[in-house]
Structure 1
Amino acid sequence: MLYTHVAALILGGAIAATTAWQVQDWRLGGQIASLKATHATELAQAKEAALATERTNAAKYQGALNEARTREAALQRDVGRARAESDGLRDQAADAARRIATAAPAAVAEYANTVSELFGECSRSYQGMAEAADRHADSVRLMLDAWPSNHAR
């Protein structure tokens, strides 16, 4: 009779342990499934946020590229006009040199004064342009030096 009680006790303990094990498996399995679902949701949200950031950056880049192309086209038009104007001035200067050879001394003196004034204005304009170019180059260098980078330049 003692053996039957011990056997029943062992069998009852085994059933209780198996039942407890199964309950823990269900409870923890549910928690793991919930964690996996949360992780999948967060991962999908992170991917969507990264994709949205990438789209924003691509749109910004394309806009900047289009603006740069527009500025380049305007610059090329300005260069063409400046060349044409420069060619015209060169022709006028060559014609003036021929006319000065036969001009009266008063006309030559007036021409020399006018040319001197124009040369002074051009010189001041070039100095202003050089200053603006130097400031621009300095600003670009500042932006390049301040921009975060993972590698040395």
Structure 2
Amino acid sequence: MNSLALRILAQLVGAGFAFGVGWYVNGWRLGQQIAKIERDQVEAAATASETARLKERAWNKQLEDARNEATKREATIRADAAAAHNAADGLRGDIADLRRQLPELAADACRQRADTLADVLSQCTARYSGMAETADRLVNDRQTLIDAWPK
């Protein structure tokens, strides 16, 4: 082999070595970039997951608070309905007492009117109490939906 061939061979080996080293260094650099991208992605996923958990907890708390408030309103509605029923019963008792006193105070026509009044009042009380309770329940359901809606 002559010296020219050895030089060419040496230069090819040197170029190959340089190419290999460059390839290795570039792979190492790109490997670091890929690792950083993967770390950033894992970090972003963890942050997004934590944010979603916090939002879900907040929404669940809001929903629980809305349900608790609805339960309180329902108890108030029941108490109001019971009070209206008790008041109506008291009024029926007062009318019954009046009706018992009527024979001594007035004629048969007064008794008939008192009976009619008692029946009409009883019917009105029953209908209005039922309507008021239904209206209160609708208001309660509406408020529950408003309170539970995510904000």
TM-score class, shorter-chain normalisation, is: 0.5 to 0.7
- Give the match for residue 49 of structure 1: 51
SS in 1 for 2:101: helix
Give the total of aligned pairs. Answer: 128
Partner of 1:72: 74
> 1:57-103: CA deviations, max 9, x gaps?
11111111111111111211222221122122223223333433442
Structure 1 Cα separation of the partners of residues 8 and 70 of structure 2:
90
Offset from partner CA, 1:37-72 (integer Å, 9 cap, x none): 111222111111111111111111111111111111
Matched, 1:103 2:113: no
Cα separation, 1, equivalents of 2:102 and 2:56: 67
What is the alpha-carbon root mean square deviation over aligned residues? 3.5
Which of 9, 15, 18 is 1:16 aligned to? Answer: 18
Shift of 1:7: 1.9
Structure 1 residue 15: Cα displacement: 0.6
Misfit runs of 4+, over 4 Å: none
Percent of residue pairs bearing the same amino acid type: 36
- CA offset at residue 6 of structure 1? 2.5
- Is 1:85 matched with 2:87? yes
Equivalent position SS for 2:41: helix
Instruction: Choose from 13, 28, 31 the match for 1:29.
Output: 31
TM-score (norm 2): 0.65
Separation in 1, partners of 2:73, 2:106:
48
Residues in 2 aligned to 1:94 and 1:79: alpha-carbon distance in whole angstroms: 22
Letter in 1 for 2:81: V
In structure 2, the residue matched to 1:39 is 41
Q: Which letter maps to 1:92?
A: D
Q: Distance in 1 between matches of 2:26 and 2:103?
A: 113
Unaligned runs of 5+ residues in structure 1 are: 148-153
SS of the aligned residue for 1:82 comes to helix
